Structure 1
Amino acid sequence: MPGTEERRLAEGVGRAIAKRRGACGLTQEQVAEHLGIGVEAVSRMERGVALPTVVRLGELAEIFGCNIADLVTETSSRASDQAHHLAQLLARMGSADRAMVVDIVETLASRLGKGK
C-alpha cells in the first residue's frame, strides 16, 4: 500500500474490524470461516496490512450486524463522521450518562480549542 493516507485508512478500518469482531464475541477463525478465507487474511485486515474490498466490507458488516459505513467512519478524521460516531455511542447510554459525556466533551473542547 503505497500512500500514507491509504495506510492510515487500512489501519483504521482494521481497528474497526477487530473492535466489531471482539464486540460480537467472535474469533478470527470464526470470521474467516464465515467469509470462506484463511485466518491469516483476517489477521492482515485487522492489522491494516490489507485493505478489504467494498464487497468484503459488506460481508463483514453483515457478520457484525452493522453498516459498511460504520467500519469506515469510525476511523475517519472528518468532523461530520466523528460526530456521527459519537452520536451512535451516546445513543447506547442512559440520559444521565449522556449528559455526563456531553459535559466532559464540552470541557475538553473548550480547553483544547484555545490552542488553535
Structure 2
Amino acid sequence: MTPSLDIVFAALADPTRRTILAMLLEDDMAVTDVAHPFEMSLAAVSKHLGVLTAAGLISQEKRGRVKWCKLEPDALREASVWMQGFGQFEPVNLDAFERFLQSEIEGGTERS
C-alpha cells in the first residue's frame, strides 16, 4: 500500500526535506553526510528523514555501522497522477524536479 497523498505533500512542504531530496538526487548518502550542511542537530535531521521515509520518498538501510538514505523517485508518481487529473499540470519530469529542487537550495542559501 502506498502512503497517502497527504503524507507525501506534507513531506514536500518543508524546505529542509526538499533540500534533502535534492541532495539524494545525486547519490545515496550516509545520514551523517545528509546532516552535514544543515545547522541543526543530527536528531533533528533524523526526524526529517523519518518523515521522508514514512512518505515513501526515501528509504533507509543500515550497512555495517552506517545508515544510508536512498531517493525513491517513484513515490512521486501518485502525486503526479493526481495533479494531472486537474489538466493544468504536466507529468512530473524528474529532470525538471531536480532543477526546481536545486533552485530551492540556491534560493535558501541566498536567504540565509
TM-score bracket relative to the smaller structure: 0.3 to 0.5
Q: State the structure with bigger RCO (CA 8 A, min sep 6), 1 or 2.
A: 2
Larger Rg: 1
Higher strand proportion, which one? 2
TM-score (norm 2): 0.33
